[in-house]
Amino acid sequence: MSLLLNEEQQFLKDTAKEFLQKNAPISHFRDLRDSKDENGYSKEIWKKMAELGWAGILVSEKYGGSEFGMMGLGGILEETGRTLVPSPLFSTALIGVSFLELAGTENQKNEYLPKMASGDLTTAFALEEGPRHSPVNVSTQAKRKGKDYIINGHKTFVLDGHSADVLIVAARTSGETHDEGGITLFLIDKNTNGLNIERTHMVDSRNSSEIYFKDVVVNEGSILGAPDTGYPVIEEVLERAQIGLSSEMLGSALEAFERTLEYLKERKQFGSVIGSFQALQHRAAIMFTELELTKSAVVGALNAVDENSNDRARFASLAKFKAGETLHLVSNEAVQMHGGIGVTDEFDIGFFLKRSRVAEQIFGSSDYHIDRYATLSEY
């Protein structure tokens, strides 16, 4: 397994870096936050991303995508982590596309994937129902009535839920809460009667929503995959999402580290730049080594998806655990080394600490994933 990008992957990553630094720097993120934009992201920027082919990287060529793989998308997500740019890239181009590619019927793929690849349709995955990640904690009910299903329940922490055109909803059609069996996936249009979507303003300004289902009626053609068998698909998509999020977190950690290094070289105290103080050099060295380990874990996990490795699940938990621990460390150190200015809103470094605290909890905390890794390793 190579831990290096090939020429095409490196070119895609470099193109993403150039585009984002020019069109969506952190000042763009700040402007969206301060203006309380109703979408939470720029549709103009998203359209440009789609034109660059980013929305279709995991889409098969027959549906208008490039089928470039997770290594390609991971490089882009790393760069979005550097600028914190809000977009449907994670929720649509990674999660939504993965669901359709893995479980969609031919009709569903023909209907949704070309629009997703062109950036004309966005999705959100409604799974979580409690304060902590638990993919089998599904109590939202979908009861069959003739050829229809009636859905009642509540979903929390739905990324991009308020702006998505289509929701991918995990609901229970049989069994009890916490059973792996009996979970069914549904594709539901945002304008369906009975849906109540409330936007949640997260501390890091990531787009999230609470969604309430009150007698929502959908027909059996809305089922993604087969009834009662949604969990294996959810599990595989979650692993892809955890790996993609790890790439984004790596980018945030690298950016916070590099900004801190520059500050250490500029800030003077007692007549010397603070970067000359041995104690700070040691702390910077620890951050550097942790970042290098995280790079290896993330690249290994991205490769595991593209190579359909039997170890994909372990790689996913390893990457999410390591990225969470490293971003937590680096964001803490970055704020501390900047001193008082580091905790002010006028200075950008605090954004990375806030993003760290939210990203760590998405689809499983570091504690969740180190336990999962141990279980998968039969420890």
- Residue 32 has a pLDDT of 94
- Residue 3 has a pLDDT of 64
**Distance, CA of 75 to CA of 84 (rounded, Å):** 14
- Residue 1 has a pLDDT of 58
Neighbours of 273 (CB within 10 A): 14
- Which string of b and e fits 208-236 if b means at least 16 CB within 10 Å? bbbbebeebebeeebbbbebbbbbebbeb
- Residue 73 has a pLDDT of 97
For residue 115 the two structure tokens come to: 């629009």
Q: Which fold has domain 7-121?
A: Butyryl-Coa Dehydrogenase, subunit A; domain 1 (1.10.540)
CATH 1.20.140.10 range(s) for the chain read: 231-376
Residues 231-376: name the CATH superfamily.
Butyryl-CoA Dehydrogenase, subunit A, domain 3 (1.20.140.10)
For residues 320, 323, 326, 331, the Cα torsion angle rounded to the nearest 10 degrees is: -110
127-168 tens-digit pLDDT: 999 999 999 999 999 999 999 999 999 999 999 999 999 999
Of the candidate CATH numbers 3.40.140.10, 2.40.110.10, 1.10.540.10, 3.40.50.1980, the domain formed by 124-228 belongs to 2.40.110.10
CATH 1.10.540.10 range(s) for the chain read: 7-121
Give every residue of the chain whose pLDDT is below 70, as ranges: 1-3
Neighbours of 363 (CB within 10 A): 24
Nearest CA to 90 out of 203, 202, 198, 237 is that of 237
Q: Classify the phi-psi angles of 156: left when phi > 0, otherwise alpha if psi is within -120 to 50, otherwise beta.
A: beta
Q: Under 8 Å CB-to-CB from 207, ≥6 apart: which residues?
A: 40, 41, 86, 159, 160, 161, 162, 163, 199
Q: Could you tell me how many residues make up the chain?
A: 379
pTM equals 0.96
DSSP element (H, E) containing 156: strand 148-159
28-76 tens-digit pLDDT: 999 999 998 999 999 999 999 999 999 999 999 999 999 999 999 999 9
CATH 2.40.110.10 range(s) for the chain read: 124-228
